Amino acid sequence: MNKRMQKVVTIGGGSGQFALLAGLRDLEGIDITAIVSMADSGGSTGRLRDELGILPPGDVLKCVLALSPQRDIVRTILLKRLKGDNRLQGHNAGNMLLTMLAEYTGNFATGVNALSEILDARGTILPVTIDKTTLVAELTDGSRIYGQRAINVPRETQREKIKDIYLVPHHHDDVAPYPPVIEAIRRADHIIVGPGDLFTSIIPNLLVPGVKEAIMDTRANVFYIVNIMTKYGETNTFSCCDFVQSIEFFIGRPVDGVIYNTEKPDPGILKRYRKYEQSEFVEIDTENPFWKSRTLYCADLLSMTGGIARHDSRKLADILQDMISGTSKKTF
């Protein structure tokens, strides 16, 4: 008798979710659903959002590419930046294609499904909401920053810490979740949160009403992949414990497992991160009593391709395969 497919739901956005999905794509016995933040407001995505009033296509495009068996081929084509026409300059072909599909069908989610079909994506990609919103961060000095791009890239050399973060809807009193998102969470066997920028890629998903409640009610195992480096303006000085506590606040429950990278980047790379990104390696204190009620999975998950510290898709897939199958054991 064939074993039942394990339903795996990922929650995030940006390059972190791309790395995760690129690894999960080739695992056997799992049914993947990616829930994607709709808070992106930078670059080509931000221009299309402002000019055409569409939902941001950038993070969704990354997910479709990650789950496509033709990923290596189509990534080069669809992420190519256009240079000719003045209005097209800076846009990539994938964002334009997804925008055209969404505009033609009159429904962003339908456009996402069509692009997934074109690229034979293995899995389902769901926007967390189809309502247009703006992400707002309130700082400890009472000032507010509007938009994911502004929050993500501080313009000042110094900035107060983020005290609160929320979504402001454009056309309704409230933000509503895209209904298949809630159903996917309820039916999940495993939910994987992260990796990704805490306040601009992950938490925006959890701010959509109904998402937190669905995670609180689900019977699924909830895992959190902790970032490798801190992020200036968002998670300065954060330890592994700080990341986990922040996520648990926004999901309203403890996580079942925490996935942490043990391998430090080379000293020269760390020096560059400190100088240019004001960023540090995320440290962990394994003796902290906090970990006694949570399963901690620690391994070398580092990729340094291009001199950038990020999660290695293959290494992530290996540890997640063991966790999903129940063969992996607590490492501390």
Please, what sign has the CA dihedral across residues 130, 134, 135, 138? negative
- Strands 6-12, 295-299: pairing kind: unpaired
pLDDT in tens, 297-312: 999 999 999 999 999 9
Q: Is the pLDDT of residue 316 over 70?
A: yes
pLDDT in tens, 136-190: 999 999 999 998 888 887 766 667 889 999 999 987 778 999 999 999 999 999 9
**What class has domain 6-260?**
alpha beta
Query: What is the CA angle 192-107-182, rounded to 5?
Result: 30
pLDDT band at 218 (very low <50, low <70, confident <90, very high): very high
Radius of gyration of the chain (CA): 19
Least confident of 91-100, 194-203, 301-310: 91-100
pTM metric for this prediction: 0.92
Q: Is the pLDDT of residue 46 over 70?
A: no
Between CA 207 and CA 202 the distance in angstroms is 9
CB 199 within 8 A of CB 137: yes
Averaged pLDDT score across all residues of the chain: 90
Which of 319, 313, 324, 327 shows the shortest CA–CA distance to 17? 313
CB atoms within 10 A of CB 240: 23
**Annotated domain spans of the chain:** 6-260
pLDDT in tens, 243-285: 999 999 999 999 999 999 999 999 999 999 999 999 999 999 9
Query: What is the CA angle 17-23-25, rounded to 5?
Result: 95
**Residue 50 pLDDT:** 59
At position 204, the amino acid (one-letter code) is P
